[in-house]
Amino acid sequence: MATIYEEIREDHQKHRELLNRIADTHGDSKERRDAWDAFYYDVKAHAAAEEETFYSKIMAKPDGQDDARHSVAEHKEMDDIMEELNSMEMDSPGWLSRFKTLKHDYEHHMEEEEEDIFSTAREVLSDDADGRIGERFLDRKAKERELVDEKAEEALEE
């Protein structure tokens, strides 16, 4: 079984590839829509599962609280940008400009997680050698994927 660190890195690699695919598209094309949809749904499920199975454990330890809170706050900022992008026309210059902000912010976030947060997590948690946290992450991510649209609608109603 893969560790939580391996599972998150694998998702990050997929997200980097999707970000680059989206950046290489133009206008309101099928390629852009397909890549955006894949990115949107996977990142939303990833972030929710990560917060519940990984960051909640880090936050429970005094030495991990600051780093975990920072990352969860970044999740919220990127989620807001993603929802903003969903409400915009993909062929507008504003969409591409906002997407570039999201791409920059998310690439920074992934790098920070892999270089800083993982170190903190290993100190306050474990190396997850048996893969239990990684397995819970994957299970939660699958459930969250089914809830993405429902959660987005609820957020719009608030």
CA distances from 82 to 18, 79, 143 (A): 14, 5, 20
**Buried/exposed 10-30: b ≥16 CB within 10 Å, e otherwise:** ebbeebeebbebbeebeeeee
Instruction: Check residue 141 and give its pLDDT.
Output: 94
Q: What is the band of 1 on the pLDDT scale with cuts at 50, 70, 90? A: confident
Provide the residue range defining the domain that includes 69.
4-157
pLDDT tens readout for residues 119-140:
989 888 777 778 899 999 999 9
Question: What's the pTM value of the predicted model, to 2 decimals?
Answer: 0.91
**Residue 75 token pair:** 């999740």
Residue 155 has pLDDT above 60, yes or no: no
**Residue 85 token pair:** 């992008």
Spatial separation of the C-alpha atoms in residues 16 and 24, rounded to whole Å: 12
How many domains would you assign to the chain?
1
What's the one-letter identity of residue 40? Y
Q: What is the mean pLDDT of the chain?
A: 91
Residue 21 has pLDDT above 50, yes or no: yes
Residue 154 has pLDDT above 70, yes or no: no
Tell which wins on pLDDT, 129 or 38. 38
Q: What is the band of 151 on the pLDDT scale with cuts at 50, 70, 90? A: low
Q: Which residues contact 125 (CB under 8 A, 6 or more apart)?
A: 57, 58, 61, 64, 133
Residue 156 has pLDDT above 50, yes or no: no
Spatial separation of the C-alpha atoms in residues 77 and 99, rounded to whole Å: 13
